[in-house]
Amino acid sequence: MEHHYAPISPFSAGLACRCPRCGQGPLYKGFLDLAPSCTSCGLDYGFADSGDGPAVFVILFAGFIVVALAFWVEVSFEPPLWVHALLWIPAILVVTLGLLRPFKGVMVALQYRNKAAEGRLDQHTP
């Protein structure tokens, strides 16, 4: 008997770091290591290959936030450079590491939802 699962938003499943099919089982077994399969529904995560996509989105998003805040602090308060280093180095680490898991989860969930796979060339024989 094959189970049918209600469609789940890839954004809610990905941001919660849950299985893209059932929304219950954990997606990760480590910080960024995908589990081999869902412990709830048994979905094999072998299809998932997010590559560098999540890192690129995190860099763009975190860079925009941190640079905008750094400009605002500079214009408003004109602190010395050591204050900028004290503020923004930890902020960059917290923002980038905090966003990497959920962004990767969204990319994996979108791959599942859209049935994305590695490109293959069709070999047509006459």
Q: How high does pLDDT run on average in the chain?
A: 92
43-78 residue pLDDT tens: 999 999 888 999 999 999 999 999 999 999 999 999
Q: Residue 101's closest CA among 31, 24, 45? A: 31
Mean of pLDDT values over 69-93: 97
pLDDT band at 23 (very low <50, low <70, confident <90, very high): very high
Q: Residue 40's closest CA among 21, 65, 59, 54? A: 21
Q: How far is CA 9 from CA 13, 58, 59, 94, in A?
A: 6, 20, 24, 26
- For residue 126, what pLDDT is reported? 61
Residue 30 has pLDDT above 60, yes or no: yes
Instruction: Please give the Cα distance from 120 to 53 (Å, whole number).
Output: 20
